[in-house]
Amino acid sequence: MQSWYFCLLNRNFVTPELAEVLQETATAVDTAYPGTVTLVLDANFPFLAGFPLLPHLSHSDGRKADIAFYYSDASGYRPKAVRSPIGYFAFEQGVSECPAAWLSLRWDLQALQVLWRDLEVDADRTRHLLRVLAADGRVRKVFLEPHLQSRFGVSSGKLRFQGCRAARHDDHIHLQL
């Protein structure tokens, strides 16, 4: 987990199958890029099946998890680094597919963007992660904003845009079995 905070709040429950997918994916990325640390953000609550892990409406069954991007700076890859303290809300800028709407979970949080660490997404590691997830037969969907799919040069029927009424996915990767 990216932070003890997620564990303390019981936001780290996954099914054994998803735990296996996450571990195998992390190992595959580390094998290709030694020293890489894969960080899980939110997963699910360990109780009340069907109860959503707010603000995530779909995290309700132990079969979904969010993974942090890998980051680099001028000195290279930064293991365990995230731009914001919790790994969320440090958005990668790009052209949005969505028109402005008042009823949406697509928060921009513009005022916060200047507070985050000056790191760049490590495109090579992140691209490899996405390809590993797309090739895994157990993974059904991976949510990532279309501008990042283009930027990383990845495409797959499993890589999807989550829609304009859901939270943005240009600060993390969402996967589900």
Domain boundaries in the chain? 4-176
The mean pLDDT value for 14-34 works out to 96
CATH class, domain 4-176, is: alpha beta
The predicted pLDDT at position 1 comes to 73
Query: Each residue of 116-131: pLDDT tens digit?
Result: 678 999 999 999 999 9
Q: Does residue 174 register a pLDDT over 80?
A: yes
Q: Does residue 16 register a pLDDT over 70?
A: yes
The mean pLDDT value for 63-79 works out to 94
- What pTM did the predictor assign? 0.83
Q: How far, in Å, CA of 76 to CA of 166, rounded?
A: 33
- β-strands 141-143, 159-160 pairing: parallel
Q: How far, in Å, CA of 25 to CA of 19, rounded?
A: 10
**pLDDT grade, residue 38 (50/70/90)?**
very high
Which residues have C-beta within 8 Å of that of residue 152, sequence separation ≥ 6? 123, 126, 127, 130
**pLDDT grade, residue 110 (50/70/90)?**
low
**pLDDT grade, residue 113 (50/70/90)?**
low
